[in-house]
Structure 1
Amino acid sequence: MAATASRSALVVRGGWEGHSPVEATDRFIPHLQANGFDVRIEDSPEVYTDADAMAATDLILQCYTMGTASDAAVTGLRTAIAAGTGFGGWHGGIADSFRNSADYLHLMGGQFACHPPKEPDQLDPDGGPENNYLPYVVNILTRTRDHPIVVGIEDFDLVTEQYWVLNDDYLDVLATTTLAARACDAWHRPVTSPAIWTRQWGQGRIFVATPGHSPDVLDHPSVRTVIERGLLWAAR
């Protein structure tokens, strides 16, 4: 039975359809409703310009890969988070949004740079996204294992896109993933990137998980648990 709605969540979804923004977010809306959120859904980040609506929003779940947002929308988002609105999401829906906006990148502190493909002799010339699916491990940091988002979760394996993330040191990193340096790569040593992180922005909290390229990844028990917990943790 869903809890009586006492808080407000805004789901902003759209952008590149390859990340299945509707199907992906639909997986988590019942979770929010069961935890007492009244959920509103929008298909454009321009809702962020509505100051009254944003002030009344306790959590924003964003799944909007690439695309654009106006300066006013990004300013509205930053203002709302600084005042206490929570902000969370996964994969490109939050870590590869609004590449046109330096202010958005500053807000997030971590930005998708690439997901290396399989080695050349493993590529299917007629293949699609599967050419970018690699086996990798998400490593929970020892010092953060008691954080409410990851407590009780062990390191886990995935076969999907592995994100190389450009990031600053204001992130509170909960888990990392290490990208190999293969003979076919231009880089010469392994690169460790944040895979799960939080960020305090004014009075607001930000939560990001980089796994989540496709619905089956979101259904992985550890990924789903992390996202469900992360959204609740971020909320006002």
Structure 2
Amino acid sequence: MARSAGTMKSLVYIIRDDYNHPKEVIDPVMARVFDEEQWEVVLTDRTRDLIETESAVDLVMFFTNGRPAGETNMTPDEQRQIVRKVKGGMGIMFIHAGLVLIEPDSPFYVELNSGRFVEHSPHHVEVTNNPAASFKHPITEGVEAFMAIDEHYYCQVDTTRTDVILFSTSQHVTAAGGWAHRADAGKVVALTPGHNPEALGHPQMIQLMKNGADWAVRQS
């Protein structure tokens, strides 16, 4: 499913747009992350578009839970359909609010170790994001520590089943800011920064997302 150098474009579904995380903030940043010569981009506010498509999707990015007004949350069976796509080779990335509404007994958490939002800082604060110093990872290659005024997310993640690649520190706490691992033939990436234009559009955050997307679709 993943592309090789010189082959056809990779297909990415980007699930975004809700009241607190509007497409007007996210879409311009995505245009900087995904080179149109290498990627075919589908922008949607519905997770069920991913479930219903017959296209071979290489990567999905969750910026929200993909439940527009009038729709219910994904059922466990619908999550399992996405889990099967990931285990079959599709990459999956969770960015900031994409980690919301993932329950501790959900297939995303139990089977993919997606991580899950627990709480965030009471207001926007200075958050410094540092790549993990203990080892090198392709997602943090070329990425330097960066600070942004952001909504600091605190997430539950099983660190015994993933590589923590980023730590985020504010006046409140130091927490895992990014993690990545394999899930059978697929790959899972999560990054907690990115609530507002300053944080999501920071050059280092853009590099993290570029690297994460490339790593998630690379077979080697």
Query: Which category describes the TM-score, using the shorter chain as reference length?
Result: 0.7 to 0.9
CA distance in 1, matches of 2:24, 2:77: 25
Find 2:124's aligned residue among 124, 133, 138: 133
Once the two structures are superposed, residues 63-98 of structure 1 have per-residue CA deviations (whole angstroms, 9 ceiling, x without a partner) of 224842133321111000000001114111x21144
1:165 equivalenced with 2:149 (yes/no): no
Aligned equivalent of 1:64:
64
Which letter does structure 1 place at the counterpart of 2:144?
E
Q: Which residue matches 2:81? A: 76
Larger Rg: 1
| Structure 2 match to 1:7 | 10
Q: Is the 8 A contact 1:28 1:228 kept in 2?
A: no
- Between Structure 1 and Structure 2, how many residues are aligned? 206
Residue 116 in 1 paired to residue 106 in 2?
Answer: no
What is the match of residue 218 of structure 1?
200
> What is the CA RMSD across the aligned residues, in angstroms?
2.5
For each residue in 1:99-147, what CA deviation from the matched residue of structure 2 results, as whole angstroms up to 9, or x when unmatched? 4971123224411111122xxxxxxxxxxxxxx1111321221123x32
Shift of 1:51: 6.8
Say whether the 8 Å CA contact 1:96–1:112 is kept in structure 2. Answer: yes
Uncovered stretches (5+) of structure 2, i.e. residues with no partner = 1-5, 68-72
Q: Does the CA-based 8 Å contact 1:31-1:228 persist in structure 2? A: yes
Aligned pair in 2 of structure 1 residues 115, 84: CA closer, same or farther (>3 Å)? same
Q: Which runs of 5+ in 1 are unaligned?
A: 118-131, 182-190
Percent of paired sites with the same residue:
22
Q: Paired residue for 2:133?
A: 142
Q: 1:100 to 1:42 in 2, by over 3 A?
A: farther
Q: Does 1:87 align with 2:78?
A: no
Question: CA 1:165–1:39 in 2, change beyond 3 Å: closer, same or farther?
Answer: same
